[in-house]
Structures are given as C-alpha cells and as structure tokens.
Amino acid sequence: MSRLPHGYTNLTRRLPGGRVEKRYQGLDRFARADREYACLVGLTHLLSVPEVIERDPVVPLLVVRDMLGTHGQEMIDAGRASEVFRLLGQVLVAVQQLSPTAVPGLTGTGPVIVHGDFGPQHVLIEDHAVSALVDWEFAHLGQPVEDLAWAEWIVRMHHPDAVNDLPELRDAAGLGIEWSARHQAMVARCEELKRISETGGSAETVAVWGDRLATTEQWTE
C-alpha cells in the first residue's frame, strides 16, 4: 500500500484491488468527509467522479474506485499545460451547469456548485479527456468566479512557467470574468485559508498562508 504523491491535507493511499483510501485529517475532518461523500454519491451519474466503495464516518475515511489517468500537474510539468487548461475549462462548464440541488445539503449562497479546490491538482486525464475530478471536500454553493480564480491561483503559485497558457482555461470556461474579479476571489480565498489555519493549524502553516496571501495581493495580470 502506497501513499499517493499528490495528497497533502489528508492521508490518501492506494490499496490492493484497484481501490484508493482517503483518511481525513484536521479539526474539520468530519464535515469535510461528509461533504465529499455527499458529492461523490450525488454526482456519480453526472460527472466523472470516483465511485464510493466503502465509508467509515467514525474514522472518518472513504474508499473509492481507483481512476485511470495522468495527474494534471504531472502533465503541466511535462509541457502539456495548454491541453490541461483547456480540459479544465471544459469540465468547469460541466460543473457549473449542474443543478445546485444535485448535492443535497451543500451550504453557501450562490447560483452554482463550487468544487472549492478546483485546479490541475485535482484532475486525472486519459485519452485527451478528464477521466476524474477528485477531492470534493470543500464543495459549496457559490459564485462562478470562485473555481476559475482558484485554478488560476494554483497555476500562478505552483506552475509560474505555465501562466502564459492560462487563456486556454478562461476561453474554454467561457466565463469572461475580468482580472479584478478573479484577483479579488484569489485574495479572499487566501484570507479564508489563513483564518482557518489560525484556528487550528501549526505556526508554520499560518506563516505559509500569510506569505501566500502577501504574494497573491501583489500579483498583476
């Protein structure tokens, strides 16, 4: 059994028999586990999401069917950023066309379902299509700008060499949201994550989000 290389917040590992186990970590782990379970069950016939095989709400953990595909960040590192961003934009269209009632119990206010941690770090790609959109633990109802802006934030923060390909994402998503609104959404999310880290995270985590917030505030298009 091996821990998956792109899991940061939780303990995610591959199990025998084509399964993946995700053990949730952190003070809000029960709420995040419940939210992701609701999303995977509610969206199973609407989007390419992992199939739930087993759930233990006491731990909490989920076991899902392993999904085929190459991790989006690995494809960016391999020089295929343009393709990844185009596919991200297409899957974002599909997410935002979902009925807000597709996942019962989602909190928040807004006209669309928001993945909440959308970006290349949470897609698998197979045969030039998104084979899975994973990690729904931060999903909520919100505004169309949120997922678009956070995908751009991930690229600017972790893949700066691919920034020039970001128009592929925006064009495929077809949202036409100006930089000022995208930037404001990025800053707001960083502020939120910094506040969350201050309530239960380590001093190191608080410092990381403080630095990321300061960096994000300085960005220009």
Alpha-carbon gap, residue 214 to 217, rounded angstroms: 5
pLDDT of residue 200: 80
Q: In this structure, are 30 and 76 located in the same domain? A: no
Domain span including residue 22: 2-65
What CATH number does residue 76 fall under?
A: 3.90.1200.10
What CATH number does residue 7 fall under?
A: 3.30.200.20
Q: In this structure, are 116 and 49 located in the same domain? A: no
Number of domains in the chain: 2
* pLDDT single digits (tens) 113-122: 999 999 999 9
Q: In this structure, are 178 and 86 located in the same domain? A: yes
Average pLDDT, the chain: 95
Q: Is the dihedral of CA 103, 105, 24, 9 positive or negative?
A: positive
Alpha-carbon separation of residue 9 from 5, 66, 85 (angstroms): 12, 19, 24
Q: In this structure, are 16 and 88 located in the same domain? A: no
In the predicted structure, residue 201 carries a pLDDT above the cut 90: no
| Contacts for 12-18: CB closer than 8 Å, 24+ residues apart | 14/66, 15/63, 18/65, 18/66
Beta bridge partners of 11: 23
Domain boundary among 30, 65, 100: 65
Question: Confidence class of residue 68 from pLDDT cuts 50, 70 and 90?
Answer: very high
* pLDDT single digits (tens) 32-54: 999 999 999 999 999 999 999 99
pTM for the model stands at 0.95
Q: What are the two backbone dihedrals, phi and then psi, of residue 183, each rounded to the nearest 5 degrees?
A: -65, -40
Pick from 144, 158, 150: nearest CA to 188: 150
Asked if residue 20 lies in contact with residue 14, where contact means CB atoms within 8 angstroms, the answer is yes
Q: In this structure, are 56 and 121 located in the same domain? A: no
pLDDT of residue 10: 87
Number of C-beta neighbours around residue 100 at 10 A: 13
Q: In this structure, are 109 and 126 located in the same domain? A: yes
Cis peptide bond upstream of 60, omega within 30: yes
Domain boundary among 12, 45, 65: 65
Number of C-beta neighbours around residue 192 at 10 A: 12
Q: In this structure, are 59 and 101 located in the same domain? A: no
Give the DSSP H or E segment for 25: none
Asked if residue 7 lies in contact with residue 21, where contact means CB atoms within 8 angstroms, the answer is no
Domain boundary among 42, 65, 88: 65
Give the DSSP H or E segment for 62: strand 61-65
